[in-house]
Structure 1
Amino acid sequence: MNEATRLPNPGTGLTGPNYARRSRVEPTVDALGKGRWVATDESGWGGDQLAANPDRYMTIGSVAIDDQTAQQVLLDLRRDARITDQVAEVKFKHFKDRPTGRQALIEALGPGGSLEGRTSVYVIDKHYFVVGKIIDLLIETQAHSRGVEMYRNGAARQSARTLFEEGPRALGRDGFGKLVQATVDFASMRNRDGRQSSVENFFDVLEAAWAKSTRRRVTTVLAQARGTRAEAADFLQALQEGDLSDSLEPLIPGVAAVVNNWSERIGKVNALTDDQKVLTDDWLDKMIRQFDGGGSWELRWVLGRAQVGQMLRGESKTHPSLQLADLVAGAGFAVAKRFGGSDSPAAAELYPAVVPLIDPNSMVAFDDMSRFARPLG
Structure 2
Amino acid sequence: MQSRRLEVACDESGFSGTNLLDPNFEVITHASVHVDARTAAECVALIRSRYRYSATEYKSTQLLRQGPALEWLLRTLTGRGHVHLTDKSYFVVTRLVDLLIGDPSYAAGTSLAPELRSLALTLHRQGPEVFGQVKWNAFLTAFVAMMRTKRHRVINSPAVDAFFYHLDLLDSDRLDLSCLRDARPQVEKVLTELLGERSSVPPPLEPLLPALLETARHWSAGGRSVAIVHDEQSALTPHRVGRISALLADTTQGPPPLLGLTMVDSRTDPRVQLADLLAGAARHIAVTELHAEGSPVLTALLRPYLSPHSLWSDIPSWTRLTSA
Same fold (TM over 0.5): yes
In the alignment, what sits opposite 1:94? 62
In the alignment, what sits opposite 1:66? 36
In the alignment, what sits opposite 1:268? 225
In the alignment, what sits opposite 1:357? 305
In the alignment, what sits opposite 2:92? 130
Report deviation, 1:338: 1.3
Say whether 1:311 aligns with 2:261.
yes
Judged with a 3 Å threshold, the aligned counterparts in structure 2 of structure 1 residues 304 and 213 are, in CA distance, closer, same or farther, namely: farther
Report deviation, 1:152: 6.5
User: Is the 1:48–1:189 Cα contact (8 Å) retained in structure 2?
Assistant: no
Residues 262-284 of structure 1, C-alpha deviations (whole Å, 9 max, x = no match):
22278322211111122222222
**1:107-118 counterparts in 2 under 5 A?**
107-110=72-75, 114-118=76-80
**Letter matched to residue 205 of structure 1:** H
**Equivalent residue for 1:78, pick from 23, 27, 48:** 48
User: Is the 1:284–1:312 Cα contact (8 Å) retained in structure 2?
Assistant: no
User: Is the 2:4–2:224 Cα contact (8 Å) retained in structure 1?
Assistant: no
Deviates most, 71-80 or 223-232:
71-80
TM-score for both structures, normalised by structure 2: 0.85
**1:338-349 counterparts in 2 under 5 A?**
338-341=288-291
Say whether 1:205 aligns with 2:176.
no
Q: Secondary structure at the match of 1:337?
A: helix
User: Is the 1:37–1:272 Cα contact (8 Å) retained in structure 2?
Assistant: yes
Say whether 1:50 aligns with 2:20.
yes
User: Is the 1:192–1:239 Cα contact (8 Å) retained in structure 2?
Assistant: no
Residues 307-328 of structure 1, C-alpha deviations (whole Å, 9 max, x = no match):
2223211111111110110110
After superposition, the CA RMSD in angstroms is 3.1
Deviates most, 311-320 or 360-369:
360-369
**Letter matched to residue 117 of structure 2:** R
In the alignment, what sits opposite 1:298? none
Say whether 1:223 aligns with 2:172.
no
Say whether 1:179 aligns with 2:149.
no
Residues 87-128 of structure 1, C-alpha deviations (whole Å, 9 max, x = no match):
232221232223xxx313312322xxx312111221111111
TM-score for both structures, normalised by structure 1: 0.74
The number of residue pairs the alignment matches comes to 315
The 2-side partners of 1:318 and 1:196 are apart by: 44
**Letter matched to residue 39 of structure 2:** T
The 1-side partners of 2:23 and 2:254 are apart by: 34
Q: Secondary structure at the match of 2:28?
A: strand
**Letter matched to residue 35 of structure 1:** R
Judged with a 3 Å threshold, the aligned counterparts in structure 2 of structure 1 residues 293 and 173 are, in CA distance, closer, same or farther, namely: same
**Equivalent residue for 2:281, pick from 331, 343, 354:** 331
Q: Secondary structure at the match of 1:141?
A: coil
The 2-side partners of 1:305 and 1:128 are apart by: 33
**Letter matched to residue 181 of structure 2:** R
User: Is the 2:306–2:322 Cα contact (8 Å) retained in structure 1?
Assistant: no
Report deviation, 1:34: 5.3
Report deviation, 1:339: 2.8
In the alignment, what sits opposite 1:369? 318
Say whether 1:103 aligns with 2:68.
yes
Where does the alignment leave 5 or more consecutive residues of structure 2 unmatched? none
Where does the alignment leave 5 or more consecutive residues of structure 1 unmatched? 1-30, 145-149, 295-301
Report deviation, 1:371: 3.1
**Equivalent residue for 2:5, pick from 35, 43, 53:** 35
Say whether 1:250 aligns with 2:207.
yes
The 2-side partners of 1:164 and 1:214 are apart by: 17
Report deviation, 1:175: 1.9
**Letter matched to residue 283 of structure 2:** F
Judged with a 3 Å threshold, the aligned counterparts in structure 2 of structure 1 residues 197 and 241 are, in CA distance, closer, same or farther, namely: farther
In the alignment, what sits opposite 1:291? 248
Larger-gyration structure (1/2): 1
Report deviation, 1:288: 1.6
In the alignment, what sits opposite 2:193? 238
Q: Secondary structure at the match of 1:60?
A: strand
**Letter matched to residue 257 of structure 2:** Q
User: Is the 1:355–1:370 Cα contact (8 Å) retained in structure 2?
Assistant: no
Judged with a 3 Å threshold, the aligned counterparts in structure 2 of structure 1 residues 308 and 195 are, in CA distance, closer, same or farther, namely: closer
